Amino acid sequence: SILATIQSSGLVPSKSFGSIVCVSVLERTSNSKARVLSMQSCTAIVEEFGLSGIGKKGVVLTAKVLSEESLADVRTASLDLLEMVLSKMNGDVDRLARICGSSNLSDKARSLLEERWSRRSAPAGLKRSQSKRGKNMIPSPRSKIS
């Protein structure tokens, strides 16, 4: 894809790639495939460089896309990106909502994001508690020797 070519060529520094190229593509194109590719690239950039990789403009624009978009694949890509943003914000949905504003993040979009975040964090919590219980129930080899 063109985005991958631009990124690999070194024309734009990797840290600035998201805020300069991907956010511009997301902002200016109506092509759904280009929007999905742009958000997938932004997700990888946020994972690697943090929120500065797409900046406030990218976060607000992604929230607006989630609120207004009707195509499922674009909505899923925007949810994935906002989930990554939330992970960098330690799961603070209220802070994200304040940054985006109510005009950009609709109530429906916020509830979708909260639901996705709760599903993501709930299984991880169960795994941690189950592994602690399982660890305590298995006797250590030293206790058998003594």
User: Could you tell me the two tokens for 112?
Assistant: 């979708």
Residues 104 and 32: their CA atoms lie apart, in Å, by 19
What residue ranges define each of the domains in the chain, with the CATH number in brackets? 2-145 (1.25.10.10)
pLDDT in tens, 51-108: 888 999 999 999 999 999 899 999 999 999 999 999 999 989 999 999 998 889 999 9
pLDDT value of residue 2: 62
Cβ atoms of residues 37 and 3 within 8 Å: yes
Answer whether residue 9 shows pLDDT above 90.
no
Q: Kindly state the percentage of the chain with pLDDT values over 70.
A: 71
- pTM, full prediction: 0.74
Q: Which residue has the tokens 């500065």?
A: 52
Length reported for the chain: 146
